[in-house]
Structures are given as C-alpha cells and as structure tokens.
Amino acid sequence: MTLLSRTFSRTFLVTLVTAVLVTSPLAMAGNASADPGCTSSVPYRSGEGGYDTYRIPATITTARGTVLAFAEGRHDGAGDTGDIDVVLRRSTDGGCTWGPPAVVAPGEGDTRGNPAPVVDPHTGAIVLVTSYNSGDVTEAQIMRGEATPAESRRVFVQRSLDDGRHFTSPRDITTQVKPPNWRWYATGPGHAIALRRGPHAGRLVVPSNHSVAPAPGSADTGQEPKYYGAHAIYSDDGGRTWQLGFVDDSYDGESNANESTAAELPDGRLYFNSRDQHGTSAGNRLDSVSSDGAETLDRPYSVQPTLNEVPVVEGSVLQLPGNKALLLFSGPSVPTARQSMAVWRSTDGGATFTKALTLSRQRAAYSDLVPLGRRAVGILYETGETGPYETIEFRRLPVAELQGAQLQGALRAPAG
C-alpha cells in the first residue's frame, strides 16, 4: 500500500508495508561530511531540502551504534506553528557523515514536532514520542482555550525495529497521558531515557510539559506563564501503553517549569532539569529528583543556582556511565541571549555544576547530548553566525576534555 505525500520539495512517497511507515529519502544539497576522526559535522542547514528552517534537535545512539539526529523541518518559516515535519538523518560513523534525510512524521499542513526518542533496552527498538497540533492554531491560542480538541495538542508514539530506517505510523496516545483540563502539551524536546537500575529497570520515561486551564471564575486567559508545569510520562511495556507520572502543579508564577530533560543517576534516582518560563524566582534553570521512576518528585522544582549563565531556553542532561562519572548539562552560556553553547559538569548528582567547555561564541539555542561510547560525547545543537537557527551542528567531545586535568586524577584515584 502506498501513500502519496511530499518530499523536501513537497513531493515524497511514503510506503506502508504491514503497518510500517518507511521513512522516505529526501533531496538535500549534499551529505554532511568530515574527515575520519572528525570533530563536527552539519546534518541540517536551514534553507536546504525544501525547508525554511530546521529546529528542535534530538539525538540517540541505537543498540547497533548508529547515531540518529532528529529535528523539526519547518516549511513555512522559523515559527513554532504551521506546516512542520519530524525529520531524521542516520550516521554509522559516530556523527562524522550522515545518510540521506527522511521524513519520520509528516505534518501534511499541520505541526508535528518535539521529538523525544529512546531505545527500548529489552528489544533494541527505537521508540519516538512526538507532539501534534493543527497547523492553523498557535501555542497562545491553545493556552487560551481557543482550539478545539482536534486542533489542540496531542501526543503520538512510533517504533522502529530496523535501527531507524523505517518507523511505524504515528499512533495517538493522548487519552493515556493528557488530563481534560490541560491545554498546551509538549514532549521533551530532546532524548527520553530508559531506566537501567532498580525495580523499574526497562521503564521508558519522557520528560514533558503542559499548561493547565485557569480555575473557573478566574480573570486569567490561561496564556500566563504561571500555568506552565512539567510532568513525565512513562511506559513499562516498550512504548505500547503509557501512564502519566509526576505532575508539577504549583502554577504560582514563581517557578514555571517548562521544557524538561532527564538523566538516571548512578544511585538510580532520576534527575530532572527544566527551563523556567519567565518565573519570578532568581534563575532560568530549575531541577528536581525522583526516587520512584518518575511517578512522583522527591521535592518541588527549585532554582539551580550554579547554572545561572543559561538564558531562557531548552537544555539537555546526560549521565555518563560509572559510579563516579559526570552528569553533563548543555545550553547557551549568555544569560540574556541565545549564544555561546557550553557544557557543564556535575560530580554530585546535579547539586552543583561547573562549566567544563564552551564550544563556540556563535549564536546558539537548543541542544541534545548523546553518548558515543565511553570516551566521547556528542552534542546536536542549533547555531549560526548571525542567528541561532542557521544550522544544526553535531560536535564530538572527548570525555577527557570535559573532566579537566584535576578531575581526571580524582576519578582515577583508587577507592579508600
């Protein structure tokens, strides 16, 4: 069975075989490339392949070692609404070169985005959770309750059983994870996580955010930032069914948890780090922890003061393997601008962070961190010379460079 859709030039063929959506190769000017032993490559360049802008990077390494780079391909402009596809490129050499781009979830005039991919540790399947809304409505309209249920934000899941070459069609899971009084909804963006330790090992956790409707009789419209909150959704059966986990429901305007990212700490707790969407507290990053696999939070979200250089923007966290290994955070490092992408390290489970490396002084915005074996980390991030959304670059970072000389010695020292 075939379904006629559009390529980057608005015409592509998506082939459905036994309910599997085959991701379609797309025409783009050249493949990203670099010499062996590369440090960086550019899988997405805005203006190429029929898209005005590429945004919202998300990346994972598959069970076979393939690096997947997801993004939103925005046809009509750089804005967050309109005709938007979820696109993907694959790299089999650690992010140095990239295969042809493909559409994973076509918008077909509507908005599909906020990719949150994860590898199911039991099967090796790639599970991709995304968000959707009609291309005719904006986030502000949805938050004000001016969109119908069909137009409003919904949540979808897809699977790939062949290392990201093909994905199933998007399947709607909204009723499982979105309460009736929620309006806005966004998964991630950035990679989701699969738990490796404890009683919930194998659980897939997607950090997410939402907005809630004002209380009856309130003069508020619902568009006020105080109605944002973070939450998590999780699956214990490889992404087939989903449940709503913790919900940050303070809605007090002091700390407005929004786009979120998560990592599993060496002791099995989950560390959540969130953008503070114009709260009144003194900081742009919030964090919390969960000891029960994202079902509840140990404490409310509060300001992370050692990430005070980060502006209001999405960020990413990644726990490196090992009992004394680093927890990393990535984001821009100019408090008032999306500029100067940097990586911070924490040796105390996210209690404090220290800047480890500044990648560039160029404009920069969203990012996602990915492990590349034990000796390197990848970062997929938005950047450009005159604006932060000119390209999505992939940079390879040696772990030793992130540790620092003094820390390397401490980590190598024998116990006792």
What is the C-alpha separation between 101 and 33, in angstroms, rounded? 14
How much is the mean pLDDT over the chain? 90
pLDDT for 404 equals 74
- Residue whose C-alpha is closest to residue 131's, from 117, 143, 146, 115: 115
**Per-residue pLDDT at 118 exceeds 90:** yes
Task: Provide the token pair at 160.
Answer: 């790939």
Mean pLDDT along residues 83-93: 98
Q: What is each CA distance from 229 to 182, 189, 250, 270, 337, in whole angstroms?
A: 10, 15, 8, 18, 23
Q: How do residues 371-398 score in pLDDT, each as one tens digit?
A: 999 899 999 999 999 999 999 999 999 9
Radius of gyration of the chain, Cα coordinates, nearest whole angstrom: 20
Delimit the domains of the chain by residue range. Answer: 2-412
pLDDT at 5: 39
CATH of 2-412, one of 3.90.380.10, 2.40.160.20, 2.120.10.10, 3.90.1150.10: 2.120.10.10
Burial of 258 (0-12, 13-18, 19+ CB in 10 A): buried
pLDDT at 410 over 90: no
Tens of pLDDT, residue by residue over 41-56, are 999 999 999 999 999 9
Average pLDDT over residues 196-204: 96
7 pLDDT band, cuts 50/70/90, is very low
Chain-centroid distance of CA 353 in Å reads 20
Question: What span, in angstroms and rounded, lies between the C-alpha atoms of 28 and 102?
Answer: 10
pLDDT at residue 415 is higher than 60: no
Rounded to whole angstroms, how far apart are CA atoms 116 and 316?
Answer: 12
- pLDDT 10s digits, 160-199: 999 999 999 999 999 999 999 999 999 999 999 999 999 9
CA 131 to chain centre: 12
